[in-house]
Chain A
Amino acid sequence: NAGVTQTPKFQVLKTGQSMTLQCAQDMNHNSMYWYRQDPGMGLRLIYYSASEGTTDKGEVPNGYNVSRLNKREFSLRLESAAPSQTSVYFCASSLGTASGEQYFGPGTRLTVT
């Protein structure tokens, strides 16, 4: 099992460009999450999907959109990238609402110039 995979690993964007970060899990988990991690700020939740077909905003959703494509895949889209979105992005998954244990993907390091 690969666990949680993310693509790409690194990305450089110019201000105003758009891109989609991809995430997939093969653990048959119901819930999936997108976080960003910035120095001194810790992990902050952007969006989450409690189950296939549902998505909800987290702590810092502005500037992002998500799609839960199926049970395995959860993508994060930046429609018009801004320098403030320079960060490391992590996708995570968990079995469901009864289990808080989350498992993380390897991350995407995004730089917006």
Chain B
Amino acid sequence: QKEVEQNSGPLSVPEGAIASLNCTYSDRGSQSFFWYRQYSGKSPELIMFIYSNGDKEDGRFTAQLNKASQYVSLLIRDSQPSDSATYLCAVNALTGANNLFFGTGTRLTVIP
């Protein structure tokens, strides 16, 4: 079982809709959860992090964490074509320098 699992997509949503990206993780002891956005040919860019159960909102982005279900999600409201990218979920490992395990990413396409 992989440490972090994501649906690879592609996920297509119309412009203005809500995009919902999901991630599950295997280690119950994980404490820190991150969402990165990666445009094609570019490096991952940190867009959200969440440490506590519940929701965390930042502009059009909302991260949701449910530790009991080992589930993290990212909602993007009022999706824009510029949101089209691959979204990587990352979870902290319990070893090393707070190392991260990354999922393989979900490719999102926002259709104008």
Seen from chain A, the residues whose Cβ lies within 8 Å of a Cβ on chain B are 31, 33, 40-45, 48-51, 56, 58, 90, 94, 96-107
Contacts and interface: CB of A to CB of B under 8 A. Distances in A.
Given A58-B99, A90-B44, 8 more contacts: A33-B99, A50-B96, A50-B97, A94-B97, A98-B98, A100-B32, A102-B90, A105-B43
A103 B46 contact: yes
Contacts of A100: 32, 34, 49, 90, 92, 98, 100
Contacts of B90: 100, 102
Size bin of chain B's contact surface = 20 to 34
A49 B99 CA distance: 10
Interface of B is mostly: loop
A28 B99 CA distance: 18
Given A40-B104, A101-B34, A106 B43 contact: yes
B34 A42 contact: no
A109 to B, nearest CB: 9
A42 B102 contact: yes
19 contacts: A31-B97, A42-B104, A43-B44, A45-B99, A48-B96, A49-B97, A58-B99, A96-B97, A96-B98, A97-B98, A99-B98, A100-B32, A100-B49, A100-B98, A100-B100, A101-B46, A102-B46, A102-B100, A105-B43
B45 interface: yes
Contacts, number: 61
Interface of B: 32, 34, 42-46, 49, 88, 90, 92, 96-100, 102-105
A33 B102 CA distance: 13
Contacts of B103: 42
Contacts of A103: 46
B42, B88, B90, B99 interface centre (most CB from chain A within 10 Å): B99
Name the 5 nearest CB pairs between A and B, nearest first: A50-B97, A42-B104, A100-B32, A43-B102, A104-B43
Contacts of B45: 104
B53 to A, nearest CB: 17
